[in-house]
Amino acid sequence: MNIKDIVNRDIVNLTNCESEPIHIPGSIQPHGFLLAVKAGTSRVEYCSQNTTTYIGLTPEKVLGKSLGEIFSEEDSRAFDLYANSGTIDSAHPFVFTLHDISYNTTVHTSGDNLILELEPFPDGTINLPNLYNQTRKFVSIMEKSAYLTELCQEMATETRSITGYDRVMIYKFDEDYNGEVIAESRREDLVSFAGQKYPHTDIPVQARELYIKNPLRMIADINYVPVPLLTLDDSTTGDGAEKSNQSLDLGMSILRSVSPIHIEYLRNMGVGATLTISLLHNQKLWGLIACHHYSPLVLPYYSRLSALLQGNFLTSQISVREVAEEFDVSQQLDKALVASLTSLHERENFVEQSFQSKSLLDLANATGAVVLHDGILYKNGLVPEDEDILELLHFLGERYPAKSFHTRSLLNVYPKAESVAKYASGVIYHSLSNTDGIMWLRREQVDTISWAGNPDKAVLQNEDGFRLSPRKSFELWMEVVKNKSIPWRKSEINAATSFSYALQKHMNFQLIQKQEDKNRILNEELRTANKELANINWISTHDLKEPLRKIQIFASKVLDREDPDLSVQVKDSVERMRFAAEKMQLLIEDILAYSKAGNMDKVFEKTDLNEILAEALEELQDVIAEKNAVIVSDKLPELDVISFQIRQLFINLLNNAIKFTKPGVEPSIQVKVDMLAGEQIDHEKALRNTEYYRIAFQDNGIGFEEEYKNRIFDVFQRLHPAHKYPGTGIGLAICKKIMENHQGFIFADSEPGEGSVFQIYFPVI
């Protein structure tokens, strides 16, 4: 039989210490022994080298054997029932008995293996803890401790009483996992570690992960000699399956051997034995209960469980106490916030009238506050010089537009922070608009940190090169921290946020009110103008049209009745008068048509444009026949339109095409239809992601210059003398208005002598 050990002999140095495989050391501590059986069987696949010391059997007589061959068949059957019960309760470990010695056996699964860790009871008996008394004591401690730090101190004292360690510390992590001793109970002759900080390198990432998975860790003697784990050196297991991995994950083990770096660390501290209990909060490592003894100490299993229970008690109170302390602070903040909000709502211009109120500082426990509004800087409390604060506000406004930001160390984000650190090491900033912002300031809090040794010397050089090395000295090393303020509490940040939003609404409301006042004045002016226009329309409809009709009638009568008696000059004058009256009447009717195109109710109906085109052609049939015009059209679509307006549109466009023809050339007009995406249309009103029907009226007329392509749609714009091409200059303006009513648009392309193309675009809705 060939046996080999599975000791992990990887060299730990600076390049791999953070990923040191501490969960698979391949060895254990010697105050117990380990067996590992294949899950579902009782065959021993792994064992520790020290089985002879405890049960008198060498590894050769253990490996490959069943538990029934090592212990009694009765114990083996009872263990099978225990292991297959569904859940293994660590509070009720299994007990094997051999040669009248009882072995406390903790069991857990590791991959495909069931790991058994056996420890003899130190005094040969099983001493169960008095859970009732322990719980009653905790409740008493909890009731008399108002704050979390007080509770931690009491728990440190009680844990030391339960375990008998020389020193018990409660150790809390910050956001970077630097630890601080916040409570301590110790032998009187020992130097206190209270208040000391330890760098995050003391507990690497993978160690912290194991503390989360396995909340209790004991080292009985830091000078122990690691006991190798052994296994059969063959390529297959007893059932013929291949051994894919001969390492054994001991992440949940209580006997697991410890990293040599950690052992060296403890030796440098002068410690002989340790017990560590994890304190978890929101699935993260909040802190540790760290117990130190200055000589070897094997703590009985049930005493360890009692200590673990202390940790569970304390963990249960972390959230409660932190919330309670936060609540006390938030109550004071709420009072200040309510006072500031009340002042904000009661004063029309809070910034100018009440920004310097004390409650504005108190709502965030700030030492200063500033707001930049409409280019004016308003200040409260202790703030830097105006020039410096404006530069800072502009920097934050550009970096955090329409956002909020807070920090206790402005130097981390602002290059010029040292120049304002005295009054603005910590800031809470909220953007109020593109140019406005509000900021609470907290002055610099120069702090002296007591490190247990220089944290910068965690990396040292030795004969093997650079490596993460435990400090040789734990004498106090003082670090002065500048350019930082007291951290902002969550409740302070929330209160500042609430006020900022309220102030932003207040400012927006003021802006809206000012705009409403301006709009009210404009509406009054528009109402007056519309009233005047309505009067003009009335006059145009009745008072002007009626006299014009009479002029035309009387002129016609004069010409008809008095014709023989009139001279040629008089006849010509009367005829000119009648023609002018007709022209004026036509102009008035076109003005009314233009006015109606914008003011009438817009009733849209699904309409076949081919029918509307037919109606327009019928109305223009005399003009078409007179000019011998040829009009050809594609099939037009059905659209939601205002029917009478589209008929007017078609009539105007066709009439223009027939009117502006070249002498001796018969008009030829083509009406073409296609569909385009908004992105393909070169027009300012074309919408992206919208399709349009394009209806083009192409003629062979006289055309016009490029410079007139936009002006022709303005009211009263004429390109040719009235005697040559009669009209009022309003027709195309009416076309433009009609297309605007349909959320569309019209434009024209033309060259002199080459005809014109008028294109109308209807959005496909």
Going by pLDDT thresholds of 50, 70 and 90, the confidence category of residue 13 is: very low
Q: What is the DSSP letter of 540?
A: I
Phi first, then psi: what are they for 278, rounded to 5°?
-80, 140
Q: Using one digit for the tens of pLDDT, what is the confidence trace for 228-238?
A: 999 998 644 44
Q: Six-digit token pair at 268?
A: 């440098």
pLDDT of residue 676: 92
A 10 A CB-CB count for 675 gives 11
Low-confidence winner among 99-103, 149-153, 724-728 (lowest mean pLDDT): 724-728
- Please determine, for residue 755, whether its predicted confidence score (pLDDT) is greater than 80: yes
- Please determine, for residue 697, whether its predicted confidence score (pLDDT) is greater than 80: yes
Q: With respect to residue 481, please indicate whether it lies within any of the assigned structural domains.
A: no
Q: Six-digit token pair at 277?
A: 């209990």
| % of the chain surpassing 70 pLDDT | 80
pLDDT of residue 70: 93
Q: Six-digit token pair at 633?
A: 């059209």
3-class SS at 247?
Answer: coil
- The mean pLDDT of 572-601, rounded to a whole number, is 61
- Please determine, for residue 243, whether its predicted confidence score (pLDDT) is greater than 70: no
Asked whether the whole model's pTM tops 0.75, one would answer: no
Nearest one of 683, 617, 676 to 651, comparing CA atoms? 617
Q: With respect to residue 60, please indicate whether it lies within any of the assigned structural domains.
A: yes
The angle at the Cα of 584, spanning 582 to 585, to the nearest 5 degrees, equals: 65
Q: Six-digit token pair at 765?
A: 């809705």
| % of the chain surpassing 90 pLDDT | 32
Q: Six-digit token pair at 259?
A: 């990293």
Nearest one of 26, 470, 422 to 204, comparing CA atoms? 470
| Residue 67, burial from CB neighbour count under 10 angstroms (0-12, 13-18, 19+) | buried
Nearest one of 738, 331, 578, 464 to 570, comparing CA atoms? 578
For residue 33, what are the contacts with CB-CB under 8 A and spacing of at least 6?
A: 47, 48, 50, 51, 53, 54, 55, 117, 118, 227, 255
Q: Which of 120, 155, 173 is the C-terminal boundary of a domain?
A: 120
Cα gap 441→361, rounded to integer Å: 9
CATH code at position 86? 3.30.450.20
Could you tell me if residue 61 is left (phi over 0), alpha (psi between -120 and 50 degrees) or otherwise beta?
Answer: alpha
- The mean pLDDT of 693-717, rounded to a whole number, is 81
Low-confidence winner among 2-16, 131-145, 470-484, 497-511 (lowest mean pLDDT): 470-484
A 10 A CB-CB count for 111 gives 13
Going by pLDDT thresholds of 50, 70 and 90, the confidence category of residue 11 is: very low
Which amino acid type is present at position 245?
A: N
Rounded to the nearest integer, the mean pLDDT of the chain is 81
- The mean pLDDT of 346-373, rounded to a whole number, is 86
Phi first, then psi: what are they for 185, rounded to 5°?
-125, 130
Q: Using one digit for the tens of pLDDT, what is the confidence trace for 631-684?
A: 999 999 999 988 888 888 898 899 888 888 888 889 999 999 999 998 888 888
Q: Using one digit for the tens of pLDDT, what is the confidence trace for 465-511?
A: 444 445 454 454 445 557 788 889 888 999 999 999 988 888 888 77
Going by pLDDT thresholds of 50, 70 and 90, the confidence category of residue 240 is: very low
Cα gap 200→195, rounded to integer Å: 16
Q: With respect to residue 456, please indicate whether it lies within any of the assigned structural domains.
A: no
- Please determine, for residue 17, whether its predicted confidence score (pLDDT) is greater than 70: no
pLDDT of residue 729: 58
Q: Which of 104, 120, 136 is the C-terminal boundary of a domain?
A: 120
Q: What is the DSSP letter of 239?
A: T
pLDDT of residue 378: 92
Q: What is the 3-state secondary structure (H, E, C) of 704-761?
A: CCHHHCCHHHCCCCCCCCCCCCCCCCCHHHHHHHHHHHCCCEEEEEECCCCCEEEEEE
Q: Which of 88, 120, 152 is the C-terminal boundary of a domain?
A: 120
| Residue 82, burial from CB neighbour count under 10 angstroms (0-12, 13-18, 19+) | middle
Residue with tokens 């050990």: 5
Q: Six-digit token pair at 496?
A: 């500042």
Residue with tokens 């009187």: 188
pLDDT of residue 759: 92
CATH code at position 607? 3.30.565.10
pLDDT of residue 562: 64
- The mean pLDDT of 614-630, rounded to a whole number, is 90
Cα gap 361→351, rounded to integer Å: 14
Cα gap 695→746, rounded to integer Å: 10
CA distances from 442 to 286, 383, 491, 503 (A): 27, 9, 15, 21
pLDDT of residue 550: 67
Instruction: Name residue 113's beta-bridge partners.
Output: 38, 110
Which amino acid type is present at position 484?
A: K
Q: With respect to residue 179, please indicate whether it lies within any of the assigned structural domains.
A: no
Q: With respect to residue 298, please indicate whether it lies within any of the assigned structural domains.
A: no
Nearest one of 485, 484, 497 to 364, comparing CA atoms? 497
State the DSSP H helix or E strand holding residue 106, giving kind and residue range, or none if neither.
strand 101-110
Q: What is the DSSP string of 581-647?
A: HHHHHHHHHHHHHHHHHHHS----EEEEHHHHHHHHHHHTHHHHHHHT-EEEEPPPPEEEE-HHHHH
pLDDT of residue 451: 53
- The mean pLDDT of 414-421, rounded to a whole number, is 88
- Please determine, for residue 14, whether its predicted confidence score (pLDDT) is greater than 50: no
Question: Is 38 in contact with 265 (CB distance < 8 Å)?
Answer: no
- Size (the chain), residues: 765
Q: With respect to residue 611, please indicate whether it lies within any of the assigned structural domains.
A: yes
Higher per-residue confidence, 147 vs 588? 147
pLDDT of residue 466: 40
Q: Up-side HSE of residue 197: CA atoms within 13 Å toward CB?
A: 18
The angle at the Cα of 525, spanning 684 to 517, to the nearest 5 degrees, equals: 85
- Please determine, for residue 592, whether its predicted confidence score (pLDDT) is greater than 70: no
- Please determine, for residue 531, whether its predicted confidence score (pLDDT) is greater than 70: no
Q: Six-digit token pair at 366?
A: 């700030």
Instruction: Name residue 118's beta-bridge partners.
Output: 33, 105
Q: Domain span at residue 620?
A: 600-763
Residue with tokens 């406390």: 104
pLDDT of residue 169: 93
- Helices marked H in 436-541: 490-538
Going by pLDDT thresholds of 50, 70 and 90, the confidence category of residue 388 is: very high
Q: Which long-range contacts (CB under 8 A, 24 or more apart) does 707-712 make?
A: 709/747, 709/748, 709/749, 709/750, 710/747, 712/748
Which amino acid type is present at position 139?
A: V
Cα gap 315→279, rounded to integer Å: 6
Q: With respect to residue 499, please indicate whether it lies within any of the assigned structural domains.
A: no
Q: Using one digit for the tens of pLDDT, what is the confidence trace for 442-460?
A: 988 755 455 555 545 454 4
Q: With respect to residue 142, please indicate whether it lies within any of the assigned structural domains.
A: no
Cα gap 491→92, rounded to integer Å: 44
**452: Cα separation from own chain's centroid:** 39
Q: Six-digit token pair at 356?
A: 């310097």
Could you tell me if residue 465 is left (phi over 0), alpha (psi between -120 and 50 degrees) or otherwise beta?
Answer: left
Q: Using one digit for the tens of pLDDT, what is the confidence trace for 166-185?
A: 999 998 988 888 888 999 99
For the chain, what is the radius of gyration of the CA atoms?
47
Total domains, the chain? 2
Question: Is 377 in contact with 389 (CB distance < 8 Å)?
Answer: yes
